[in-house]
Amino acid sequence: MTEPTAESAPRAPRPQIIMEVVDRQQINPHMVRLTLGGEGFENFADRPVTDKYIKFLFADPSMGLTPPYDLDAIRRDLGPEAIPVRRTYTVRKVNHEARTIDVDFVVHGEDGIAGPWANTAQRGDVVCFNGPGGNYKPEESIDWHLLAGDEAALPAIATALEAMSSNAEGVAFIEVQDAADEIDLVKPQGVELRWIHRGSEFTPTSTKLAAEVMKYPWRSGLVQVFAHGEREVIKSLRRYLADDRGIDRRMMSLSAYWAYGRAEDTFQAEKKEPIGKIFPDA
């Protein structure tokens, strides 16, 4: 009997990590930072990347389920509708000394699941998640950096700016609702920070991110790109950066963190369909 190949072997389920809320901060009018800690930190396998993300599992409170969740048993005994929903968030910071991680949540009123939960989270609340994943980190052997994103990408951009060498150069575009949503960021002196104000919540007509990036006077030299955010905005940036500017795909981290008008379950399911692909041939 032959051993299964890497291609044919089923992917082992990622272990569920259980931690608890140990602190909560209001970062700006639309962002809450939760600090997670507890014994579960020892199971958190940190990664040397600046876009590391985790996938929270949110169970329906009326079900009375407690983590870790036996997803197969829940599906079998209670039905697929009882399976905890997944929501993906970037890890803003890992503090190995304090054995905590910080996660920033965008909150828009009562919309969604994770945002409203984070907005009312209390110390001692238990959380369950998988991860982390992630692949991007700023390289030193390039001429300049181009970073672009909306509120959802702000934690990853902030972490990337902190990780850059002191002599790094480039520009970071961050789109938020208005000036009240700007936060203080640590960055190299040679990296320009450009805040973009929509003036309202995100809509396909209010967003200005792609247009501002395209207006930016292009620099010479080798560029490394990190552009994450709303799906159609990132598609526009892909067409500009890959097709118009001819940037090698290997020098770009382009990803949709979310899609306008889509819940994450639908958004994730569409990633395998043409509408969900940032690169048409991916």
| Alpha carbon 275 to chain centroid, angstroms | 20
C-beta of residue 75 within 8 angstroms of C-beta of residue 41: no
Q: What is the mean pLDDT of each run of 10 residues along the chain (282 residues)?
A: 39 82 96 97 96 96 92 94 94 98 90 89 96 96 97 97 97 97 98 97 96 97 97 97 96 94 82 87 69
Taking domain 144-276, whether its CATH number is 3.40.50.80 is answered by: yes
C-beta of residue 170 within 8 angstroms of C-beta of residue 145: yes
pLDDT at position 282 is: 61
C-beta of residue 255 within 8 angstroms of C-beta of residue 278: yes
| Helical ranges in the chain per DSSP H | 71-78, 114-120, 154-163, 209-215, 231-238, 264-269
pLDDT at position 5 is: 37
pLDDT at position 2 is: 32
Name the CATH superfamily for 16-133. Translation factors (2.40.30.10)
pLDDT at position 267 is: 83
Domain ranges of the chain: 16-133, 144-276
**pTM of the complete model:** 0.92
pLDDT at position 108 is: 80
Task: Give the list of residues 6+ apart from residue 1 with CB closer than 8 angstroms, or none.
Answer: none
